[in-house]
Each structure stands twice: as structure tokens, then as C-alpha cells.
């Protein structure tokens, strides 16, 4: 899969996506990188540690987040995208579910659109991506009843698979080629604790849809609840999910702590290869 100037394998290797939140309120690093100079310093750090792609987000989507006006999200991310593309030769992903933000990000030079609503939030998001020719990551999510945090399911994994199939259908109808689609099981979104663990355990079933997978568990509540730890002490739990992602054949892991996760990927892949180069 071509993402920016780089060719990525969809099988046989797990790449590390470094998170750059230019937000004041993200759940684990809000306010740390929402200044352009600090953001660029952090990108330089992540690239030195082995990040393969950078994912920029301008709106926190932590549980209970407040919807950010499109204009404010654009004002947060576009200057950083432009500066990043000018300073570094690295593929850049834009984490947004708003078509207007995606359109401006594409104009600024992003290489992939990462949509936490899987094309279902705004009807023209699929058309914006299709017109750009860019690849996209479509995440599993579904509205919760009466404003609650957890969605309702009849048969959890069957419903997750069906929701992702709906996103794939929207992509195809808009003209987005299958070869430009990555799927994300949506750990931490519209799922309770047990369901988050289950979807990680059963990634194989989603891989059966025929698309590469991205796993994004870094520092999330499923780790905090399992280990009874705050967000800034969830590195080991994140590394465990990264090793699972490698074993399940995921194309990407999306993480805050790049260096440690790059090492975990390298070790897990060496074991799976049995020492063969």
C-alpha cells in the first residue's frame, strides 16, 4: 500500500504509527504537544525512535469528549501538518471524522485519513477521500443509546464485523479501492471492558474480512482497568497488546511510546520467524 512516498507491506510486518495529539485535553498527553514547535520536536523524537508514520489529531475523542467546531479543529491541525511536511519526509495520517477537516488536511499534504466513525459521521467523507486518491483507516464505532458510552449489540463480534462491512460498502460506493482501505477494531469505542478484550483476542475474525488491520490500544482504559494503573503507567500493558498485534498479523499499531513499541515489534517478529532473516 502506497502511503505518501513510502510503500508499506500489508502482510508480514507490523509498522508503528506514532501519535501526535495537538489538543489541550487528550486523555494521556493533552496539552503536551499543542504548540507547533513542541509538536515538531516530538515528531523528530518519534522518528528517531523508529516511527514509520505520524498520526495527527486535533480533537480529543476520550470518553465524554466535547464535539469541537470544525473551524477550531482545522486551526489546530493545519499549521502543524504544513510544518511537519516541510520539515520531515514521513507519511502523515490525519485523525478526523469531519469531511471539512479532511479536505483541508488533504490540501495541506496528509497522506492518509484515519476516521473513527468509519465514514458514517458525515455523508460526504467517503467522497472527499475517494476524490483525493488517498488510503484511509476505517474504525469500528457505533452510536450509543440515549447518550451512553456503550453501544448495544445482539451478537458482539458478528455485529462488529457487520458494522465494518457497512463502512467497506460506503467506501466502495464512493469509489475508494479496497487496496486503499485499512480497518481498525475500535478498542475503547462503544465497547465495555470485556468487549474490548474480546475484540483484541478475536482479531483473526476481522482479518478474515480481507483487509489489513490497525490496532490502537496505547494507554487506553482497557489496560488501566486490567492493571489498575493511571494512563501514564500503562506502557507494559500497551506492549502486551502490540505483541498480540504482531502475532495476529496487524499492519499497524498506533502508539504513544514509539521506542519501546518498536522494540516489542522487532522482538515478537524475530520469535515468529524463528531466527530466520
Is the torsion defined by CA of 43, 48, 49, 51 positive or negative? positive
Residue whose grid cell is 483541508 = 104
Q: Which residues pair with 6 in a beta bridge?
A: 3
Residue identified by cell 508499506 is 8
Strand 53-57 and strand 181-184: the pairing is: unpaired
| Catalytic residue status for 263 | no
Cβ(138)–Cβ(160) below 8 Å: no
Which residues are paired to 182 by β-bridges?
Answer: 137
| Active-site annotation holder among 103, 120, 161, 220 | 220
- Angstrom CA distances, 42 to 32, 49, 98, 124, stand at 9, 11, 25, 33
From first CA to last CA, the distance across the chain in angstroms is 22
What's the DSSP call for residue 152?
Answer: -
Which one of the listed residues 254, 266, 273, 277 is annotated catalytic?
Answer: 254
Letter string b/e over residues 59-84, b meaning 16 or more CB atoms within 10 A of that residue's CB: bbbbeeeeebebeebbebbbebbebb
Where does residue 220 fall: left (phi above 0), alpha (psi -120 to 50 degrees), or beta otherwise? beta
Identify the helix (H) or strand (E) that includes residue 15: strand 15-21
To the query of whether residue 220 is one of the catalytic residues in this protein, the response is yes
The residues that are catalytic are 220, 254
Amino acid at each position: 500500500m502506497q502511503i505518501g512516498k513510502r510503500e508499506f507491506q500489508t502482510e508480514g510486518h507490523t509498522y508503528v504509527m506514532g501519535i501526535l495529539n495537538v489538543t489541550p485535553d487528550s486523555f494521556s498527553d493533552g496539552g503536551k504537544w499543542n504548540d507547533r514547535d513542541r509538536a515538531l520536536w516530538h515528531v523528530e523524537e518519534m522518528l528517531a525512535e523508529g516511527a514509520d508514520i505520524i498520526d495527527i489529531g486535533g480533537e480529543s475523542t476520550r470518553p465524554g469528549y466535547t464535539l469541537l467546531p470544525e473551524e477550531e479543529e482545522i486551526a489546530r491541525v493545519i499549521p502543524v501538518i504544513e510544518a511537519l511536511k516541510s520539515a520531515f519526509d514521513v507519511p502523515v495520517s490525519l485523525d478526523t471524522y469531519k469531511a471539512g477537516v479532511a479536505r483541508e488536511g488533504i490540501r495541506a499534504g496528509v497522506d492518509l485519513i484515519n476516521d473513527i466513525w468509519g465514514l458514517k459521521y458525515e455523508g460526504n467523507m467517503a467522497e472527499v477521500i475517494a476524490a483525493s486518491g488517498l488510503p484511509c483507516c476505517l474504525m469500528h464505532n457505533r452510536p450509543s443509546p440515549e447518550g451512553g458510552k456503550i453501544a448495544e449489540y445482539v451478537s458482539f463480534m458478528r455485529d462488529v464485523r457487520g458494522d465494518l462491512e457497512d463502512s467497506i460498502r460506503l467506501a466502495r460506493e464512493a469509489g475508494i479501492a479496497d487496496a486503499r482501505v485499512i480497518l481498525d477494531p475500535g478498542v475503547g469505542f462503544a465497547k465495555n471492558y470485556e468487549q474490548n478484550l474480546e475484540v483484541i483476542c478475536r482479531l483473526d475474525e476481522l482479518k478474515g474480512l480481507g483487509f489489513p488491520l490497525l490496532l490502537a490500544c496505547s494507554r487506553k482504559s482497557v489496560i488501566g482497568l486490567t492493571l489498575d494503573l493511571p494512563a501514564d503507567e500503562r506502557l507494559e500493558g500497551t506492549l502486551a497488546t502490540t505483541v498480540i498485534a504482531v502475532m495476529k498479523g496487524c499492519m499497524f499499531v498506533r502508539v504513544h511510546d514509539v521506542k519501546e513499541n518498536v522494540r516489542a515489534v522487532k522482538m515478537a517478529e524475530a520469535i515468529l520467524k524463528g531466527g530466520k532473516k
